[in-house]
């Protein structure tokens, strides 16, 4: 038996759906997570967990917090360098800002550098799993998979498919897209901690022939995930309706090609119809809610209450570079803030925010048997955060004797500077350099 490690800290996790189960939050002020062979053996009060294994080596992180590895359900790897181009709306931003940068990924050296920076930024922000839009180029998408594998992160990604209405150099003929995607699937899907996602950019930029390719890929390979964009911006929705006159709504374009259901994650869904929500709930298509991006691009406010009422599941995504950065706690805070100021908004509590940044993402990716919380048997994907001495977070948690309030403060004030150690299957993928 290999050596066990016992992490001692305040622990928060949500082993259940925090919207369905009011007391889903598990919080242990003096907590322990026992890890053996990369798996969680037990998590709970330190004294109880200690009694399970007297030999385990304790890593004393008292004064800090351990939460499950954060899960980003929507992010674009080629957009690392364009975060913060504010003041535009989706279609205009794509043309002026995002797509020229995505075209630079044809240079494999540039793509590799970008992939390395991207993977480092995920890890250093505590994101251990991400559903990532790859590049429009197979070699650049392969570079992302390779960098993620080298770092040890869990990445679900795929070649971005488009054959119209973008810059011509980003278009692929459907048969070439099929060939390239098939090869990437053979190389990376199910290897190490990688999975492949069929990734049509959005209905606007994919012809019916390209959507057929997506359908074929999903049919030909077991366990592929699907990701795309849906109902992000009113002009985009109107244009999709014009391009697909036979479709009752945006979602029915994807449905016609079998790109819905469990394992399919649609980003945004700011402007859904009731009929779309009803069908997504029935089919278990998940939404990646990206509140920073929705605000930055002026796309609108996510109708969270309508998703909840309809029973549509959703997780959180940063949508870098339309979004404002890699921080999933910041994304959770933004979700809370936007809902607070919208008419008919939903007042999200700390437990729901943690759930959305962790377990909900695991459920969206159909990885909830493996990751998303600290239950026994799961992979030890964990983040250790510690308030900087003298910081507002330190002040907020020092005097708090209510663990829900402490978690709320951690979500509000827990910036990347607090992240000290990030583990995937018990092994550090990021450690902060802290002056001693
Ligand atoms: Zn996006």
Please say whether the beta carbons of 380 and 38 come within 8 A: yes
3-state helix, strand, coil in the chain (%, to 5): 40, 25, 35
The mean pLDDT value for 285-292 works out to 98
User: Is residue 112 within 8 Å of residue 336, measured between CB atoms?
Assistant: no
Contact present, 131 and 72 (Cβ < 8 Å): yes
What are the pLDDT digits (tens) for 250-272? 999 999 999 999 999 999 999 99
For residue 74, how far is its CA from the centre of ligand 1 (angstroms)?
Answer: 6
Confidence grade of residue 401 (pLDDT, cut at 50, 70, 90) = confident
Cα–Cα distance, 105 to 306 (Å, whole number): 38
Residue 155 backbone dihedrals phi, psi, to 5 degrees: -130, 130
Question: If you measure from the C-alpha of residue 413 to the centroid of ligand 1, how many angstroms do you get, rounded to a whole number?
Answer: 26
Distance (Å) of CA 247 to CA 74, 212, 229, 402: 25, 15, 16, 51
Tell me, in angstroms, the distance from the centre of ligand 1 to residue 79's CA: 10
Check if the beta carbon of residue 297 is closer than 8 Å to that of residue 93: yes
Tell me the pTM.
0.98
Q: Ligand 1 centre from 78 Cα, in Å?
A: 11
CA 288–ligand 1 middle distance (angstroms): 9
Identify the bridge partners of residue 127 per DSSP, sorted by sequence position. Answer: 70
Q: Which helix (H) or strand (E) holds 341?
A: helix 328-341
Give the pLDDT band (50/70/90) at residue 2. low
Q: How far is the CA of 300 from the centre of ligand 1 (A)?
A: 14
Under the banding of pLDDT at 50, 70 and 90, the label for residue 436 is low
Rounded to the nearest angstrom, the distance between the alpha carbon of 232 and the centre of ligand 1 is 9
Work out the average pLDDT over 292-304: 97
Residues, CB within 5 angstroms of ligand 1 (ion): 267, 319
Q: How far is the CA of 30 from the centre of ligand 1 (A)?
A: 39
275 CA distance to ligand 1 centroid (A)?
A: 23
Q: 76 CA distance to ligand 1 centroid (A)? A: 6
pLDDT the model gives residue 214: 98
Distance from the CA of 158 to the center of ligand 1, in angstroms?
13
Stretch 358-380: mean pLDDT, rounded? 98
pLDDT at residue number 294: 98
């Amino acid at each position: 038996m290999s050596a066990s490690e016992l992490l001692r800290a305040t622990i928060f996790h949500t082993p259940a759906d925090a919207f369905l189960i009011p007391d889903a939050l598990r919080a242990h002020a003096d907590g322990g997570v026992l890890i053996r062979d990369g798996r969680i053996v037990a998590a709970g009060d330190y004294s109880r967990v200690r009694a399970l294994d007297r030999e385990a080596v304790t890593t004393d992180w008292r004064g800090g917090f351990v939460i499950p590895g954060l899960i980003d359900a929507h992010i674009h790897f080629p957009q690392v360098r364009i975060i913060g181009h504010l003041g535009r709306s989706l279609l205009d931003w794509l043309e002026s800002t995002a797509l020229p940068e995505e075209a630079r990924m044809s240079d494999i050296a540039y793509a590799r550098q970008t992939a390395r920076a991207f993977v480092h930024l995920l890890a250093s922000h505590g994101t251990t799993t991400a559903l990532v839009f790859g590049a429009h180029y197979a070699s650049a998408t392969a570079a992302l998979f390779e960098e993620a594998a080298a770092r040890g992160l869990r990445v679900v990604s795929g070649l971005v498919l488009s054959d119209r209405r973008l810059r011509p150099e980003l278009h692929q003929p459907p048969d070439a897209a099929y060939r390239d995607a098939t090869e990437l699937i053979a190389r990376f899907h199910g290897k190490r901690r990688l999975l492949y996602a069929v990734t049509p950019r959005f209905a606007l930029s994919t012809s019916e022939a390209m959507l057929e390719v997506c359908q074929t890929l999903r049919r030909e390979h077991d366990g592929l995930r699907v990701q795309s964009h849906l109902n992000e911006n009113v002009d985009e929705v109107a244009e999709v309706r014009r391009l697909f006159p036979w479709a009752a709504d945006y979602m029915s374009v994807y449905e016609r090609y079998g790109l819905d259901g469990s394992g399919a994650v649609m980003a945004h869904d700011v402007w859904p119809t009731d009929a779309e929500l009803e069908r997504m709930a029935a089919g278990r298509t998940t939404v990646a809610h990206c509140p920073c991006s929705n605000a930055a691009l002026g796309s609108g406010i996510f109708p969270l209450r309508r998703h909840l009422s309809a029973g549509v599941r959703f997780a959180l995504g940063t949508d870098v570079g339309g979004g404002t950065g890699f921080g999933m706690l910041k994304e959770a805070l933004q979700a809370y803030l936007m809902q607070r100021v919208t008419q008919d908004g939903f007042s999200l509590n700390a437990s729901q925010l943690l759930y959305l940044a962790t377990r909900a993402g695991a459920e969206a990716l159909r990885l909830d048997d493996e990751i998303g919380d600290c239950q026994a048997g799961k992979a030890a994907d964990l983040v250790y955060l510690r308030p900087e001495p003298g910081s507002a977070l330190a002040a907020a948690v020092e005097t708090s004797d209510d663990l829900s309030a402490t978690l709320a403060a951690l979500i509000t004030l827990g910036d990347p500077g607090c992240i000290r150690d990030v583990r995937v299957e018990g092994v550090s993928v990021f450690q902060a350099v802290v002056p001693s």
